[in-house]
Structure 1
Amino acid sequence: MVKKPSGNKRRFNNRNYIRKNDKIRAREVRVIGAEGEMLGVMPPEEAVKIAKSHGLDLVEVASSANPPVCRILEFGKYKYELSKNKRNKEKTAKRVKEAKFRPRIEEHDYVTKLRRSEKFLHQGNKLKITLMFRGREMEHINLGMNLVKQAIKDLSGVGKADDTPKLSGRFIIVNLSPLPKSQRVLRYNSLEEAEVEEQDDEQDDDHEEDGLEVEEKEEASS
């Protein structure tokens, strides 16, 4: 019968588990003091004694280093800072919305869908505009290019093009970035409407022959 790993073993194999004090398994560790000073390489038992003498913990902060790097610090505060940094990173991750145009679109559809794109940019998301040609529509590239340029102009109150629209095969593509928050001026939404997160309520748009379809993608801010 295969013996199942113990709970402790699974915990140590967890990449998110932080070793501290007597849970540090290396024979020697490189120690950084509470003030950021280098204390040198020593057995973890000796480093734990130093940490405890200051009422602090010895925490492994770089397990893959040779030898592993440990810091003397307040463990509770350290975990809080890690959690805070993770939340901030997730909060600042920007979503990229892709707005898909077709050369032919009714005016009311254009305005309705442009309103959604304005909301996306107002909320700080980047926007990728893509216009796709089908069949003989390639004979009217200028019409498609003018439509994309008009969309950029209509969204200029909340975003600006990163570059000029470019033709790539059967697609015209351009990326828009949101303006600084203090410079954003809404044209198609009230402020209250623009602050509301968009719901996934356009499932029928995937079946429209003409229009602007919106898809979500994730992008981490640099």
Structure 2
Amino acid sequence: MSRQQRTTRGKKRDSVIMNDAIRARELRVVGEDKQQYGIIPREEALRLAEEQGLDLVLISPDATPPVAKIMDWGKHKYQLEKKKKEAKKNQKKIEVKEVKFSCKIADNDIAYKVKHAREFLEKGKHVKLRVFLRGREMANPELGVEVLNRVWPMVEDVGNMEKPPHQEGRYISMYVTPKKEK
């Protein structure tokens, strides 16, 4: 299969119009080395690309006339994928741990669960503190807020309150992130 015959009909996500798939009669053509060929007929642009052993890729189909670039599409696509992988590799993944409480929780149980929340924060993980409201407790969500307000002083030295206590359905939630070390 020659370069002139190759098109991108198979994949929808690669919505790149190139070579024979280009339907415009005249194109503003730019070379691989940013050389301006000016406005030329499609057949001449395809011939130029074929002579250089490269592809004619439509860059801006909505312009008048459409803009096409002579380039090695395979090499260009490979470099884009490489950049994507590099960006993904450098991305920091945030892990969120969840610690659940109830409205009628005893002080020693709070201390035990707070100990785990502190460990997560010290390891650099984000923590979501949640109070589950059961049955008639839904009528008094301030009880859940009260529990989280009792928990907050126990973790404020290792964490920052990202979101204050707020209701999410049957839960009262508070989001805590680890403090930045200097």
Q: TM-score, with normalisation over the residues of structure 2?
A: 0.59
CA-based RMSD: 4.0
Richer in strand (by share): 2
Q: Confirm or deny that 1:144 pairs with 2:142.
A: no
Structural mapping, 1:1-222, within 5 Å: 11-12=9-10, 14-16=12-14, 18-21=16-19, 23-28=20-25, 29-36=27-34, 38-62=36-60, 65-66=62-63, 68-91=66-89, 92=91, 94-95=93-94, 97=96, 99-102=98-101, 104=105, 105-112=109-116, 114-116=118-120, 118-119=122-123, 121=125, 127=126, 129-132=128-131, 134=133, 135=137, 138-139=142-143, 141-154=145-158, 156=159, 160-162=160-162, 165-168=164-167, 171-174=172-175, 176=177, 179=180, 183=181
In our comparison, the structure showing a higher alpha carbon Rg is 2
Report the CA distance between 1:83 and its aligned residue. 0.8
- Of structures 1 and 2, the one with the larger relative CO (CA 8 A, separation 6+) is 1
| 2:33 counterpart SS class | coil
> Which blocks of at least 5 consecutive residues in structure 1 are unaligned?
1-7, 122-126, 185-222
Quote the sequence identity (%). Answer: 21
> Which blocks of at least 5 consecutive residues in structure 2 are unaligned?
1-5
